[in-house]
Structure 1
Amino acid sequence: MDSFSVAERRSAELVHDIAKTPKRFRMLTGERPTGALHLGHYFGSVIERIRLQGLGVESFLILADYQVITDRDSMTRVREYVRGAVLDYLAAGMDPQRTTIFTHSSVPALNQLLLPFLSLVTEAELHRNPTVKSELAASGRALSGLLLTYPVHQAADILFCKGNLVPVGKDNLPHIELTRVIARRFNERYGSVFPVPDALLTATPEVPGLDGRKMSKSYGNAIALGMSADETAATIRRTVTDSERRITFDPETRPGISALLSTAGLCLQEDPRLIADRLGDAGSGALKALTIEAVNEFLAGHRERRAEFAADPGLISEVLARGNERANVEAAATFDQVRQAMGTVYG
C-alpha cells in the first residue's frame, strides 16, 4: 500500500475519532501572510477550520510571518496582510476564545526549536521536499538556507504546542511526514516529548483562479475576501474568455469560462455543468454577470461582519495579543521540556 493510501485510511479513521472524542485532539493550522485571503482559502481551508472548531477541537492558527521571507526579499506589506487575515478569520466565524490566533515572530521559543530539529534531518531529506522544489523554481533565485529548512520550521510550528492533528491537502502530506519523522527521532534520541501528529486530509475543492490556474495570491487571479462588491465585479469582468457564445464547462480548452463556472458553482453550491447548460448560448457576458451576482451574494454577510470588526480599532491587536500570549506559554513549556530532555538545563 502506497503512502497516500495509508494517509487516506488514517484520515478516514480520524474523522470518526474526532466526531466521537474531539477533546483528544489539538489542531495546528495556518498560512503565510503573503497577500489577502481569497475564495481559495475560504473554500480550501477556512471552512474546515471552523467546522473542527465547532466540534470542540482545540485549535492553534499560525500566521507564519517569518516564513514570508523564505521566497521573497521584502516584508513591506506583511502587517497589512496579517491584520486583514485576522479580520477575515473573525468574519468567517473563527472564535478567538476557542482558536488561538498568533504570529510566528511573536513566539521566540517556537523558533528556537528549529535548532535541535535541524540536527535530526539530513540535507538530502530537505532537498527532496516538493514544496522546497516548487518554491525554488517559482522564485528564480538561488536556494536560501531559510527556504531549504522551511519544512523543519513547519515541524516546529506543529510541535511547539504538541499539535497532533493537521488538516492538509494531498500536496502538503510530505510536510506532515517529515514532522512525524522529526518527532519520532527526537523521542528516540532524548525521550518521549512530542506526539507524532496525523494528517487530516481535507476533501475541499481546488478553487480555480480566474485564469484557470489554481487561485493564488502570487498569480493575481484571486477574488479576495476583503474586496468590495464593485471591486469583485471589476475583477470578474476582466477575466479573459473566448468568442464562442455557447457556454460549456471544459477546463482544458476553455480555462476562463470554466473558472467562472467553477467559482459560480461553489458560491451557488451547484454543479458548474448545470450552470453552463442553463446559460446555453447566452455568452460570456451573461456568465460574468451571473458569477458577479453569485460571489457578491455569497460574500455579503462576510463583508458586513468584516466591516463591523474593522470599525473596532483595537480588536485586531487584542486578538493577536491574547493569541500570542497563549502561544508563548505553550512554546515556553515545550522548550523547557526539550532542554530538560537534552540535558541543557544548568540552573
Structure 2
Amino acid sequence: MVKGRIFSGMQPSGKFHLGNYLGALENWVKLQKDYECFFSIVDWHALTSSYEDTSKLQQNIFDMALDWLSAGLDPEHNVIFVQSHVKEHAELHLLLSMMTPLSWLERVPTYKDKIQQLGNQGKDINTYGFMGYPELMTADILLYKADTVPVGEDQLPHLELSREIARRFNHMYKPIFPEPNPFLSKASLLPGIDGRKMSKSYGNEIPFAASPDELRARVRQMITDPQRVKKSDPGNPDVCTVYTFHKIYSPDELESIGTACRQATIGCVECKKRLAERMVTALADIHTRRIALEANPGRVKEILEYGAERARAVAAATMAEVRQVMNLS
C-alpha cells in the first residue's frame, strides 16, 4: 500500500560523490518501495547561484540522471524528470510570489549565510532568483500535491516556509494544497579521504562513478591514525578515516577490525585492502548499471522525456485548479 506522495530534487551542480549518495540518494532508493515518488533534477535551482556560467549544465543534468538510475531509481515506478521540462513549475512559482510576504523570504535562516558564503567565492547572488529560491522549492512541492518531502535538518526552515505558503494560499483562495510534512532520515555521513568533510572543493571526495580500480586507489590514499607509525604500534580506530568507512561497509567485522587495530595484529595496508574490496562489492551493481547506461545515452534521454510527460500531466491538472480558484481561467 502506498503511504503517500513524495517530491524531492537535486541541483545538477557538478559531479556526484559517495557522500551525496549516502546523504540522500540511498534513502530515495529505499523510499520508492513505499511511496509514489516524483524526483526532479532541478536545473532552475542551479541557476539561482550559478547563472553566470551554464556551459556545463546539460552535461551535469545527464550525469545526475546516470547517478540516479545507476543507484537503482526505477523510472517505471517513479516519475524522474528535469524541472525546466515542466513549465508549470515557473507558472506556480510566479503566482505564489504574488501572495508571499517579502519578510518571509528574508527571514529564512540560510539566506544571509549563503550570500556571505558564496559572496566570498566571488559569486554575486544578490538577485531575486536567489532570494526566491524557497518560493520555487515550494512550487516544486505543491505542484504535485506532495504530502511528504525527504529533507535533512538544515532544510527544515525551507520546508516550514512551504507549509506556511500552502496555508496562506488555502486560506485566501480554496484549500487545494496539502501541507507537506518532512521525512527526516538519518544520513550515513562519511568524511573525505583526508578526514575532513567530503567535498569536491577539498579534492578529498570519492566519486560516485568511480570504477573498482579508482575506488581502490582512493581508499589507499585514506588518512589513518597519525600516531601509528609502524605496523607493530597499537592503533586508535576512533581517529581513523578507514575505520569510519568500515562502520558503513563492514558492520559484521567492525568489532574484530577495531580490536585487531588496537592490538596491532592488522596493519593499515591490510585494513585498507579489506575496506576497498567491501566497497567494490557493495557498489558493484551500481557500477554495472552505470556502464550499461553510459553506453546507451539515448535511453537516458527517453527516460527523462517519459518522466517529464508524466509530470506534466499531474502539473497541468494542479494548475487548472489553481487558475480556477484564483479566477484566472
Which TM-score applies when normalising by structure 1? 0.83
- Which residue of 2 is the match for residue 172 of structure 1? 155
Match in the other structure for 2:99: 120
Q: Residue 248 of structure 1 corresponds to which residue in structure 2?
A: 236
What are the equivalent positions in structure 2 for 1:69-148 lying under 5 Å apart? 69-72=47-50, 73-139=52-118, 140=120, 141-142=123-124, 143-148=126-131
Aligned mates of 1:98, 1:301 — CA distance in 2: 19
Cα deviation for residue 42 of structure 1 reads: 2.4
Q: How does 1:225-236 map to 2 (within 5 A)?
A: 225-236=208-219
Shift in alpha-carbon separation, 1:321–1:190, aligned structure 2, 3 A? same
Give the structure 2 partner of residue 4 of structure 1: none
Query: What are the within-5 Å matches in structure 2 for residues 1-347 of structure 1?
Result: 21-23=1-3, 25-55=4-34, 57-72=35-50, 73-139=52-118, 140=120, 141-142=123-124, 143-241=126-224, 243-245=226-228, 246-250=234-238, 254=239, 257-258=240-241, 260-269=242-251, 275-280=257-262, 281=264, 282=266, 284-345=268-329
| Conserved 8 A contact 2:6-2:37 | yes
The 10-residue stretch of structure 1 (86-95 or 133-142) with the greater mean CA deviation from structure 2: 133-142
Cα distance in 2 for partners of 1:325, 1:239 equals: 44
Cα distance in 1 for partners of 2:26, 2:215 equals 21
Q: Is the 8 A contact 1:91 1:303 kept in 2?
A: yes
Q: Does structure 1 conserve the Cα–Cα contact (< 8 Å) formed by 2:22 and 2:187?
A: yes
Q: Matches of 2:203 and 2:297 in 1, distance apart?
A: 29
**Percent sequence identity over aligned pairs:** 35
- Once structures 1 and 2 are overlaid, which stretch shifts more, 155-164 or 118-127? 118-127
Could you tell me which amino acid in structure 2 is paired with residue 86 of structure 1? Answer: A
Task: Report the AA paired with residue 2 of structure 2.
Answer: P
Q: How many angstroms apart in 1 are the aligned matches of 2:62 and 2:270?
A: 36
Aligned residues: CA RMSD: 2.3
How far, CA to CA, are the matches of 2:17 and 2:138 in structure 1?
A: 25
Query: Residue 125 and residue 274 in structure 1: after superposition, are their counterparts in 2 closer, same or farther (change >3 A)?
Result: farther
Q: Deviations over 1:270-321 (max 9, x none)?
A: 5867633333345544443333223222212210122122222321011000
Q: For structure 1, which segment, 154-163 or 279-288, has the greater mean C-alpha deviation from structure 2 after superposition?
A: 279-288
Q: What TM-score, normalized to structure 2?
A: 0.87
Deviation at 1:138, TM superposition (A): 2.6
Distance, in Å, in 1 between the alignment partners of 2:157 and 2:298 is 39
Aligned letter for 1:67?
H
Question: Kindly tell me: are residues 334 and 77 of structure 1, through their superposed partners in 2, closer, same or farther at Cα, counting changes over 3 Å?
Answer: same
Distance 2:69 2:88 in 1: 27
Query: Is the contact made by 1:247 and 1:283 (CA closer than 8 Å) also made in structure 2?
Result: no
Preserved contact between residue 247 and residue 277 of structure 1 (Cα < 8 Å)? no
Matched residue of 1:184: which SS? Answer: helix
Q: Aligned in 2, Cα 1:123/1:210: closer, same or farther, shift over 3 Å?
A: farther
The alpha carbon displacement at 1:210 in A equals: 2.5
Q: Which amino acid aligns with 2:210?
A: M
Question: Contact between 1:28 and 1:60, CA under 8 Å: does it hold in 2?
Answer: yes
Give, as a single letter, the amino acid of the residue that structure 2 aligns with 1:43: L
Quote the Cα distance in structure 1 between the aligned partners of 2:46 and 2:221: 29
Name whichever of 28-37 and 271-280 sits farther off. Answer: 271-280
Letter in 2 for 1:267: Y
Aligned 8 A contact 1:132 1:150 in 2? no
Deviation at 1:216, TM superposition (A): 3.5
> In structure 2, what is the Cα distance between the partners aligned to 1:198 and 1:308?
36
Q: Distance in 2 between matches of 1:283 and 1:122?
A: 60
Q: What amino acid does structure 1 have at the position aligned with 2:79?
A: T
Q: Is the 8 Å Cα contact of residues 209 and 221 (structure 1) preserved in structure 2?
A: yes
- Measured in 2, the distance between the counterparts of 1:145 and 1:314 equals 36
Task: Report the alpha carbon displacement of residue 161 of structure 1 after superposing the two structures with TM.
Answer: 0.9
| Number of matched pairs | 317
Equivalent-residue separation in structure 2 for 1:137 and 1:272 (angstroms): 41
